[in-house]
Amino acid sequence: MQIKDSVAIVTGGASGIGQAVTRRLAREGVKVAVVDVNDAQVAQVANEIRAAGGEAIGIQADVTREEDTARFIQLTVETFGQLNMAVTCAGIIRDGTMLSLDKQTGKVSRKLDLEKFRSVIDVNLNGTFLTLRDAAEAMVNGGWPGLLVPISSVNKVGQIGQLNYSSAKAAIERMPKIIVGEFLLRGIQNIRCVGIAPGYTETALLTQMNQDALKAILADVHLGRLIKPDEIADMITYCMSNEALNATTIEITGGLCYPHGIAK
């Protein structure tokens, strides 16, 4: 797949991993549509890419809305003439255990709110589905070679306090196998799908986590520090050039282990 002059959509591109991916792709000569629900930030990232000599448009959109997905894909194709890549970084966390107990009585004092569960599934899972589906539709109808990159998480294995998030990320981790299997079935030969499952990465998302829990988790990272968004962006860029990578989800975690050193 030719990298220079190809066209990518990055959802969640206004912050963290998505922002690092948009900048990195733009430096490689990729034309980038930065998509995010955060209007001010999305415009700023696109402006900064253009100021640095890259080609970018910023599009405010909510990945959970079907009409928004159709709009940002159409706008990207109208602006840049094709579409070759979709990276689905838009994501949120709303942590909490399914049940909380009253210390005195031992009875249930609080349940995980349905809205907390639903919103995380909606943005992370449904948003990823819509973006991948409509990006693939545009690639097939345009006859353009493509790469779909759904973003899972190492917490796909099941993280306590993240029943909603881990469920979404486990489902996303399976997507490349299913999508590529269906492409094979339908005779779609020139679109690949490679998922990325990052470990704990230095972004705004982690500031919403329990900071004591995060500190404890870091003690189980062999690398001894958080992953940098640029390290994820490097891996995603590499996926463009190696067409043997397909129908799989790659973990990039710095060696995250369970307590007592068993690799996750």
Ligand X SMILES: NC(=O)c1ccc[n+]([C@@H]2O[C@H](COP(=O)([O-])OP(=O)(O)OC[C@H]3O[C@@H](n4cnc5c(N)ncnc54)[C@H](O)[C@@H]3O)[C@@H](O)[C@H]2O)c1
**CB neighbour list of residue 196: distance below 8 Å, 6 or more residues apart:** 149, 150, 151, 152, 232, 235, 236, 239, 249, 250, 252
**Counting Cβ atoms within 10 Å, is residue 245 exposed (0-12), middle (13-18) or buried (19+)?**
middle
DSSP labels for 108-139? EEEE--HHHHHHHIIIIIIHHHHHHHHHHHHH
For ligand X, which is the closer residue by CB, 111 or 118?
118
DSSP for residue 90: -
In angstroms, the Cα distances linking 231 to 46, 190, 235 are 21, 27, 7
For ligand X, which is the closer residue by CB, 7 or 89?
89
Cα dihedral 77, 150, 148, 44 sign: positive
Catalytic residue, candidates 165, 200, 238, 258: 165
The pattern of x and - marking residues 98 through 137 that bind ligand X according to CB under 6 A reads -------------------------xx--x----------
State yes or no: is 165 an active-site residue.
Answer: yes
Q: In the complex, what is the shortest distance from the CB of residue 189 to ligand X, in angstroms, rounded to a whole number? A: 28
For ligand X, which is the closer residue by CB, 147 or 151?
151
- Taking CB under 6 A as the criterion, the residue among 149, 201, 235, 239 binding ligand X is 201
If one asks whether residue 63 binds ligand X (CB under 6 A), the answer comes out as yes
If one asks whether residue 12 binds ligand X (CB under 6 A), the answer comes out as yes
Q: Which residues are catalytic?
A: 165
In the complex, which residues of this chain contact ligand X (CB under 6 A)? 11-12, 14-18, 36-38, 62-64, 89-92, 123-124, 127, 151, 153, 198, 200-201, 203-206
